[in-house]
Amino acid sequence: MKSHSTSVITALLLASGLSASALAVIDVNRAADNFAQANPGTAFYREAGRITSIYGNTFATGQTPDASAEAFLANGLDVFGVPVTQLVPGSIAADDAHLRQMMPNDDGSMRFTLVAYRQQLDNIPVMGADLLLLTRNDPGYPLVLARNNLRVLGDFVVDAAVAANPAIAAAYTAADALPGMAGAAFTPAQLVIWAGTYDHTSAPVLAVTFEATSGMAWMNSYQKHRIVADAASGAILHDENLVNQIDVIGSIQGQSTTGIKAAECNAEALAALPYVKVTVGANSSFADVNGNFSVTNAGSADVSASAGVRGRYFRVFSPSTDAPPIAQTFTPGVSSSIVFNSANTDQTRRAEVNAYVQANVVRDMVITALPTYPTIANQFEGGAGGLFRVNVAVAGTCNAFYDGTSINFYSSGGGCSNTAFYDVVHHEYGHHVVSAGGSGQGQYGEGTGDCMGVLLSDQPILGIGFQSNCNAGIRTAANTLQYPQSSEIHSAGQLISGCVWSTRNAMVAAAVPNYQTLLKRLCVNAVTLHRGTEITPQITIDWLTFDDNDGNAGNGTPNYATINAGFSAHNMAAPAISLLTFSYPDGKPSSVLPGVASSFRVDVTSVSATAQPGTGQISYKINAGPYNTVPMSEITPNHYMATLPTILCGDTITYYFRAQTTSSTIVADPATAPATTFSTFAATSNATVFNDNFQTNQGWVVTNGAGLTSGTWARAVPSAQTTGRTAPPTADYDASGMCFVTQNGDGDFDIDGGSTTLTSPAMNATGGTATLTYARWYSNDTGGGPNADTFVVEISGNNGSSWSNLETVGPAGPEAHSGWFVKSFVIPGAQATNQFKVRFTASDIGTGSVVEAAVDAVRLTVAACVNPSCPADFDGDGSVDLFDYDAFVTCFETPGCSGADFDGDGTVDFFDYDAFVVAFETPCP
């Protein structure tokens, strides 16, 4: 079997000369509308015109977190414009984890599971792209947040020749020519697809990426960059500086707080060094959080015990060699102490101790807030991540930095203190927290670094004593910065620390118990959801999602008021709480008959407020006319019947709903109405132009890919045998008897070794709004290598000369586990021709899984504004008069109006006008 990370669709397209992305034509706007209607109470957050978050009410469930995520992939992924074939389990977070437990409760259990997918095309990763799906650990694992960090690749095609021989040497040469990078060392180049960053997407291009390092971390000239270069030419596409420094941005006055200032400002007192490694002969052990240790030793004679500023999680260098250890004689069984820098005269030794102690303090906070934190949870001696490096006495003054693999601190001088102290250490480790979580740095990284210090000190001033002024810091979280911020990143970063501090103050004022623990959990867990480098109101959504306790953040959370108050103070207000929800038990009409009123049920449900009976209203407008608002007919309290007025054929009616709470607050659906609305159109006919239950052969064609050994499509009555059969259907969908199934028989005669394609005859999809409906069966979740293949449905408007993706089932998800599913799609105009075709392709590339597919009940309908017996009766009122003429002229002059293509040739032009005039002048029967 192919692995999940290899797309079956790619193999199919290579044979036809097309790229996988050529099939990924997704109508995002239609998908978003459909998703919103199917999931009341959910909301979208958009940045730069694209949906980056879905949040609010639960929008998928399953028996496991994976199953809930797969349900969304099957039914909601289209809102992001990316096909499921481009997703593989994993994350761009440093540990690439697919599943992560999140947000601990007070009893140690975890409240959420984060399910992550990376994006790739033709086995080449899309750099920096992933999808994060957050499920609650409640029955049904409700999915409550989706964070979209994917890139829409459009018609991008991977150049196989360039991929086989990328211009790595030219890329290294170009990087070497960057300022200060002459003679740089390069890591091996990795082939990627570059489509920009989370904050600034760009057209996709095949690229290589690598790191370039010049000098050593303790040198003043040290540089480290991540380079992205064009794989064809070697030209630099993106250059990211990996050295994240604290540049001084003026002095900010504030209160002095004992214990958090620079070393030059405070007296030094003995403090426990947590987790230090202590060695006695061949044996060693780690101290506990209080510095207590016990090392196994044979005998009672005095021994020498040694320890350096190196422990279970961190290793301190000064700056390029290990901080020197201290040895001391111990009498076994008699407690004694090793004291570092006991004379308190050596600045470097003091920096080693301070950096070590505070690095452990901030790490402990992160791991307590999220025990499964990416990479950091496994970053210890003997762990997958190994020890994390801390450098002190680095050449230069007035700075500190993080470079992706270490945190680095300068000695005193130049008007500044030694920077290895309290929240400067917290800040730089905060950059590591951001990087390990998968986020970009920029203003978000700087701000989150500050938040680490604020959360630990529970006061707002950062870096007190940094500039040798023991009564002032360099930044403050007690600020009034407003979203958005475009200033220098250290200054802009104060926006998020300001939100945290304002929220803290609101919680203190509201007497929220254990507010410090809560703030740490919310802030740290939210880092793992952030993508890009900017601070946006999506962070507010993340905090609310983690704070929520019922799977519906839209109805408020336990700490909604204080979180909203804190973030609102910085123009990062929380989304409004859903007071009421609207639902439509019978659905909303996709089209209506002209001249006939259309009625359907509307239910209004109380959420965080109580619905007031008798207040339901519908507001509607016809075409571009004004809105009219009328009461809905109430059946029982808060259960209504809505009625759309009669309209002419070809007219569009736009509408939305309103109701009131018992406190007279008006709630609308859609929530932002009338900016967003529902709509339908009038058509005189909804003709079925093709209908096949497969009882006869209507011209379907079966073609098989190279290497197929079994499983070809066949029109048959499915075998009813159940013994020994795990995947195929035992009956057709519509009970007519026959359907198309992959190699029918009394066993699992599944697809093996290739692909099999079922292609329809040509159909006429012209003359109105064409809708394709079919039932499909697909299973690939059994056997030795399950959930690795896909079932692809494509459409063509040129008799099969080219194809576009309609949907892809699998490689996993609830619709890849057997069962009949009915699907219906409106055919895009480019494919709605008289040479319309659909094809179904099922594959099993490799060995391992049992893959079975079936298709039944294929139907094509066309809704139009034409009365077949009297086409000139354009308004459908039963008579031909000037009202019909006016209605057609209006439709003809309105782009996209159904019925304007009067002659049905697929285009709207004056031939349609002439055809209508002829019909108008011809008496009707």
Average pLDDT over residues 382-394: 90
Span of 284-293, 497-506, 711-720 with lowest mean pLDDT = 284-293
Alpha-carbon span 361 to 189, nearest angstrom? 36
Sheet order of strands, 580-583 included: 580-583, 598-606, 639-644, 633-636
- Are the beta carbons of 5 and 793 closer than 8 angstroms? no
58 vs 652, more confident: 58
Residue 198 has a pLDDT of 82
Quick: pLDDT tens for 205-224.
Answer: 999 999 888 887 766 567 78
Alpha-carbon span 87 to 178, nearest angstrom? 35
- Are the beta carbons of 200 and 157 closer than 8 angstroms? no
Q: Is the pLDDT of residue 22 over 50?
A: no
**Mean residue pLDDT across the chain:** 84
177 vs 341, more confident: 177
Q: Which of 393, 454, 820, 228 is nearest to 463 (CA)?
A: 454
- Are the beta carbons of 192 and 166 closer than 8 angstroms? no
Quick: pLDDT tens for 241-278.
Answer: 777 654 322 222 212 222 577 777 777 777 777 888 87
CA 420 to each of CA 201, 261, 265, 378, 400: distance values in angstroms, whole numbers, following the listed order: 37, 11, 13, 25, 8
Residue 424 has a pLDDT of 95
Residue 875 has a pLDDT of 67
Residue 297 has a pLDDT of 63
- Are the beta carbons of 626 and 571 closer than 8 angstroms? no
Alpha-carbon span 235 to 110, nearest angstrom? 46
DSSP 334: S
- Are the beta carbons of 109 and 137 closer than 8 angstroms? yes
Quick: pLDDT tens for 799-813.
Answer: 999 999 999 998 877
Residue 6 has a pLDDT of 31
Q: Is the pLDDT of residue 11 over 50?
A: no
Instruction: Spell out the long-range contacts of 559-564 with Cβ–Cβ below 8 A and sequence spacing 24 or more.
Output: 559/507, 559/512, 559/518, 561/506, 561/510, 562/503, 562/506, 562/507, 562/509, 562/510, 562/512, 563/503, 563/506, 563/522, 564/540
For residue 333, the tally of other CB atoms under 10 A from its CB is 7
Residue 430 has a pLDDT of 96
DSSP 144: E
**DSSP reduced 3-state for 86:** helix
- Are the beta carbons of 399 and 408 closer than 8 angstroms? no
Span of 33-47, 117-131, 268-282, 718-732 with lowest mean pLDDT = 718-732
Q: Which of 157, 132, 158, 160 is nearest to 147 (CA)?
A: 132
- Are the beta carbons of 83 and 26 closer than 8 angstroms? yes
Residues 6+ apart with CB under 8 A from 786: 780, 848, 849
76 vs 332, more confident: 76
Residue 12 has a pLDDT of 27
**Confidence category of residue 694, pLDDT binned at 50, 70, 90:** very high
In angstroms and rounded to an integer, the radius of gyration of the C-alpha atoms of the chain is 33
What distance lies between CA 729 and its chain's CA centroid? Answer: 35
Residue 620 has a pLDDT of 96
* Helix (H) and strand (E) counts in the chain: 15, 46
Residue 282 has a pLDDT of 75
For residue 164, the tally of other CB atoms under 10 A from its CB is 8
Alpha-carbon span 52 to 175, nearest angstrom? 32
Alpha-carbon span 780 to 259, nearest angstrom? 61
Q: Is the pLDDT of residue 623 over 90?
A: no
Residue 183 has a pLDDT of 84
- Are the beta carbons of 263 and 281 closer than 8 angstroms? no
* Two structure tokens written together for 323: 């901080």
Q: Is the pLDDT of residue 308 over 90?
A: no
pTM of the model: 0.60
- Are the beta carbons of 585 and 640 closer than 8 angstroms? no
Instruction: Name the β-bridge partners of 758.
Output: 702, 840
Q: Is the pLDDT of residue 36 over 60?
A: yes
- Are the beta carbons of 181 and 223 closer than 8 angstroms? yes
* Two structure tokens written together for 249: 């941005």
Residues 6+ apart with CB under 8 A from 829: none
φ and ψ at residue 9, rounded to 5 degrees: -60, -30
**Confidence category of residue 911, pLDDT binned at 50, 70, 90:** confident
709 vs 463, more confident: 463
Quick: pLDDT tens for 398-437.
Answer: 889 999 999 999 999 989 998 989 999 999 999 999 999 9
